[in-house]
Amino acid sequence: MFQNLSDRLQAVFSKLTGRGVLTEADVDAAMREIRMALLEADVNFRTVKEFVARVRERSVGQDVMKSLTPGQMVVKIVLEELTALMGGTESRLVLSGRMPAIVMLVGLQGSGKTTAAAKLARLLQSQGRSPELVACDVYRPAAIDQLEALGAQLSVPVYRGSGTDAVAIAQAGVKDAVARMRDVVIVDTAGRLHVDEEMMAEAAAIRTAIRPDQVLMVVDAMTGQDAVNAADAFAERVDFDGVILTKLDGDARGGAALSIKAVTGRPIKFAGTGEKLDALEPFHPERMAKRILGMGDVVTLVEKAQQVAETADIADLEQRLKAGTFTLDDFLEQLRQVRKMGSLSDILAMVPGAGRLPKDATVDEGALARTEAIIQSMTPKEREKPSIISGSRRERIARGSGQSVYEVNQVLKRFSQMQKMIKQMQAAGGGGKKRRRGMPGLPNPF
């Protein structure tokens, strides 16, 4: 979503950091380009004006102008202001100690509200909670059916009630959660194609009746400033606590993410990063700002790796590495763990310096799948001892995996490189004497 904005900003910074001395004229030129980049990203124009003014004021200060690296100081200022623009710090979901805690979702039709409810339930499940979903969109039976289907995937109960009184259904849903001893209720309310008084009145009535701990507005990031305008209208009438920004993995310009906090005063609490039910994550302004500026997001990358890795598997792998018995089966398991972390494009976006790759470099999302197919086409003995794989065996593996002999050779070559690196690490006591140069065993994603 932020690729164009990221490219524009990095181009501006490359000019600034390449200069030994900065003048006010240099800063003014950079601010003009930043202003245009933000406007093209569909950021609210008032927000852009205030943002650029703050950055310029700080950038022409004596501490910046007289520093040894003024260009880098400007980059630091932009990072700080961009972080502040999106909320400054992570805004967590605040739930009370009552049973059950209640979260109410509001938003326009088509914003992904029903799916967001299920994703939030999945996230709360992973935190040890036992959520229940309540379907209050009485105007669209398909939305209720969709919520029930999503709830079934998660083994989460869904209360749909009867009749057309959304307020009564919400109240009955809370009572049902008490009877089932569920500790969180997520209420999915009705949406409309546009903001109207009837929808606002119903949402306000439900809020008064069930007194939710948190009211979250679900906003489609693909709709740009329309999403911000809708959020502003809801903020006045329903008074929500935060935003779930959906479809952040899309190809829109990203202005909604950069404008909502400044326009409505409400923080983004969660971001939807894909279609799967586990593709909802807490929104971290500083991490997002670093990704926009091409600095990567190592913390989120590590967190994703921790989520997919089992403690027992890590300990078992560590023992095999120490013993020097790392096999192709172990390599295959590591590839599967990487695939669980998401697409290669998303992973690459979190790696610092990835923005400096050639513009014509494209990510081959099928690289891991092809490598997995090749390894699975080997016999258990071949995976344990790749040195026995002769030319005829390579041809058989290629036919079995639907790949070429060349690709089979490349997989074996990368695995051999990984084994050599492991031996070097062992000889250096885990990297104490020799410099670690990365993980050459992974398939080339470009």
- Residue 220, domain CATH: 3.40.50.300
Are 70 and 107 contained in the same domain?
Answer: no
Bridge partners for 187 per DSSP: 104, 134
Residue 94 pLDDT > 80:
yes
Which of 85, 112, 142 marks a domain boundary? 85
Are 105 and 79 contained in the same domain?
Answer: no
Are 262 and 318 contained in the same domain?
Answer: no
Which of 243, 271, 293 marks a domain boundary? 293
Query: In this predicted structure, what is the pLDDT of residue 133?
Result: 95
| Residue 369 structural domain | 301-427
Bridge partners for 365 per DSSP: none
Residue 323 pLDDT > 70:
no
Q: What is the mean pLDDT of the chain?
A: 79
Residue 47 pLDDT > 80:
yes
Query: In this predicted structure, what is the pLDDT of residue 190?
Result: 84
- Give me the numbers of helices (H) and strands (E) for the chain, helices first please: 20, 8
Query: In this predicted structure, what is the pLDDT of residue 224?
Result: 64
Angle, alpha carbons 109-110-116 (nearest 5°): 100
Which of the listed ranges 144-158, 227-241, 256-270 does the model predict with the highest average pLDDT? 144-158
Residue 376 pLDDT > 50:
yes
For helices 367-376 and 328-340, angle between their N-to-C axes, nearest 10 degrees: 150
Are 365 and 418 contained in the same domain?
Answer: yes
Q: ω into residue 100 within 30 of 0, thus cis?
A: yes
Share of the chain above pLDDT 90, in %: 21
Q: Which of 71-75, 161-165, 256-260, 361-365 has the lowest mean pLDDT?
A: 361-365
Does any domain span residue 432? no
Query: In this predicted structure, what is the pLDDT of residue 312?
Result: 47
Query: In this predicted structure, what is the pLDDT of residue 6?
Result: 79
Residue 98 to residue 180: CA distance in whole angstroms:
15
Residue 223 to residue 269: CA distance in whole angstroms:
18
Which of the listed ranges 127-136, 224-233, 272-281 does the model predict with the highest average pLDDT? 127-136
Does any domain span residue 435? no
